[in-house]
Structure 1
């Protein structure tokens, strides 16, 4: 991944977009800190394509229709107060 300073990315935006399309995500920094990423449209669609619906996600989990918890019959120990 290439790293671009904001000033450079602003003046060379067309090149940043082309690089994102050809070589992958391009990181943009401000004062040395990563602030943004430029992605190709194909990468963006791949990231957002598989967003499951919350309802489907919850209903797709393990089935617990016959869920039983076995408890020990131990009453604990006696203590003197």
Structure 2
């Protein structure tokens, strides 16, 4: 699954520079995560870095609209970082 930033976001700027896939950017009001680039840090880290640096609990959650298993996230990582 890709991750989703909820309306609890306080725009603290902690998550955006931590994303190894550059999937996080400023939206109209809060930061947003591009589901096509989010691999939940699979291929980079054991846990999503955006979630670990966010100072507000439950602000970054799994996106129910983007159901992906670990294998699918790995395939996405390979496509993003090893495209020929």
Q: TM-score range by the shorter chain?
A: under 0.3
Rg bigger for which structure? 1
Question: Larger relative CO (CA 8 A, sep 6+): 1 or 2?
Answer: 2
- TM-score between the two structures when normalised by the length of structure 2: 0.21
Between structures 1 and 2, the one with greater strand share: 1
- TM-score between the two structures when normalised by the length of structure 1: 0.21
